[in-house]
């Protein structure tokens, strides 16, 4: 993906899971990557793996955003891309969710994106354009129980993406969102998620996704190969949100159909 060669990209929440995989993917394609996060030890490890820079970063802090952007431009002379990946989860029925946690999730997952958008406009405009990818979720494409604040934050991120795409297009700043489905990460593995074919029948492809597969989609959107793509939602979910894949379990096999048709 030659459209990433020489690009300077910030990846928030880059110290693990999807963020680290995305940073690694872009670095392999020639981008200089700045990994940010709260965990210094894991963040520095991730940055070292991709030959990049780690900066400690609370995405809910406007001052931190200014510091991260200034440090990036001071180090590399420009800023071409931002991946708003930092986020926290919620897993509770609405009636059991606390207001405190609901608001915390919105602050990190949605306000953090808002602050990131604000912080990078000036340097990207100075560079003649740029690309921003906001990491959403399948929960931002359809209603999923037990997601409460998390799902709301991802619906909000999707809307903010489209508003920003319309406002910033005149500066040649593109804004898109990527919506992962169920992914195999250390966090989901701890909840019993398994890799391999047949382990996720809700997806037409029959399996959970891998972080690198999200990284490839994000890398495409950051790159010049996506120069005419903005305001888009890209689902990387194996078809989970496309429809009721579970119903296919009741469909007859092609060899059992007369003439091969239903």
Q: Which residues are catalytic?
A: 150
Q: Which residues contact 87 (CB under 8 A, 6 or more apart)?
A: 13, 108, 109, 112, 135, 150, 153
220 near 1, Cβ under 8 Å?
Answer: yes
Print burial letters for 178-187: b (CB count within 10 Å at least 16), e (below 16).
Answer: bbbbbbbbee
- DSSP letter assigned to residue 91: -
27, 59, 241: which is closest to 153 by C-alpha?
Answer: 59
23, 230, 34: which is closest to 129 by C-alpha?
Answer: 230
158, 125, 123, 124: which is closest to 139 by C-alpha?
Answer: 158
34, 110, 44: which is closest to 78 by C-alpha?
Answer: 34
Strand order in the sheet with 81-84: 53-56, 32-37, 8-12, 81-84, 130-135, 173-180, 233-236
């Amino acid at each position: 993906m030659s459209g990433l060669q020489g690009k300077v990209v910030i990846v928030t929440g880059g110290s693990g899971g999807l963020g680290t995989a995305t940073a690694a993917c872009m670095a392999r394609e020639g981008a200089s990557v700045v990994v940010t996060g709260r965990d210094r030890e894991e963040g520095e490890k991730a940055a070292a793996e991709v030959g990049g820079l780690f900066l400690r970063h609370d995405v809910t802090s406007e001052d931190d955003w200014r510091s991260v952007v200034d440090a990036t431009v001071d180090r590399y002379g420009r800023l071409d891309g931002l991946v708003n990946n930092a986020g926290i989860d919620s897993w509770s029925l609405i009636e059991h969710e606390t207001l405190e946690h609901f608001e915390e999730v919105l602050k990190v997952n949605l306000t953090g994106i808002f602050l990131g958008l604000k912080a990078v406009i000036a340097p990207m405009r100075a560079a003649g354009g740029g690309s921003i990818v906001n990491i959403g979720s399948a929960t931002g494409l359809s209603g999923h129980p037990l997601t409460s604040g998390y799902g709301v934050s991802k619906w909000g991120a999707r809307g903010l993406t489209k508003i920003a795409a319309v406002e910033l297009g005149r500066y040649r700043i593109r804004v898109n969102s990527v919506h992962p489905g169920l992914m195999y990460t250390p966090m989901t593995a701890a909840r019993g998620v398994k890799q391999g074919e047949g382990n996720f029948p809700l997806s037409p492809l029959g399996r959970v996704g891998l972080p690198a597969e999200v990284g490839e989609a994000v890398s495409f959107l950051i790159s010049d190969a996506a120069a005419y793509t903005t305001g888009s939602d890209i689902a990387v979910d194996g078809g989970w949100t496309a429809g009721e894949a579970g119903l296919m379990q009741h469909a007859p096999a092609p060899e059992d159909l007369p003439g091969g048709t239903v």
